[in-house]
Amino acid sequence: MIDSPTSPSWGFVAARAAAIWLPLAAACTGLAVLTYGAIQQDLRLSADDPQVALARATSERLDAGTPPGDVVPREQHDLAQSLDPFVLVYDASGHLLASTATLHGKPVDYPAGVFEVTRSRGENRVTWQPEPGVRTATVARQWQGGYVVSGRSLLLTEEHIDQIGRLSFVGWLGTLVLVALAAVVSSAILHRR
């Protein structure tokens, strides 16, 4: 069958549409990845903010002479269940002096290697996973007699990041479909001219 001047050759239209769509799809993919990455980093980095404030306030009180047992609240938080912030106070040798955190009712064992970096920098931000499924955003800060660690669960932050990931994926996929439709329509219109 011979195409009339007004009916498009669908093979030609499809090839032209693909030529239009591919670079736009690459650009959409790059923008989606960049947007997701920026939002993910913003959520994760801002998850440290309350701990930074808590660690700094606690170290200032310790440096002012407040005993370690008096700078931490009496309430204990089980890291496997609680979303509440926690504070750990260590001496210069890394021995636990006071704590508001437990793990299944037992004292937590914070990685001592973090203190080496804290000693050289004054402050160190670490994602700490004391057991599978328990992830916390922590800030270790030096005080005159040792180290203060403050932290809180990353559960809600990670749920938000997952939700942003799903929304980004749906938005990216929808954009690719819309760009593909626009490319086909544009190719058909251009072919008729």
Report the percentage of the chain scoring pLDDT > 90.
76
Element (H, E) at 150: strand 146-153
Residue 49 above 70 pLDDT?
Answer: yes
Strands 77-78 vs 101-103: parallel, antiparallel or unpaired: parallel
Note the pLDDT tens digit of each residue in 63-105: 999 999 999 988 899 999 999 999 999 999 999 999 999 999 9
- Backbone torsion region of residue 121, taken as left when φ is above 0, otherwise alpha when ψ lies between -120 and 50, otherwise beta: alpha
pLDDT of residue 8: 54
Least confident of 8-12, 66-70, 168-172: 8-12
pLDDT of residue 6: 52
Provide CB contacts within 8 A for 152, sequence distance 6+.
47, 50, 51, 83, 84, 85, 86, 136, 137
**CA dihedral over 176, 181, 185, 187, signed as positive or negative:** positive
pLDDT of residue 192: 74
For residue 131, list its beta bridge partners.
134
Element (H, E) at 22: helix 10-46
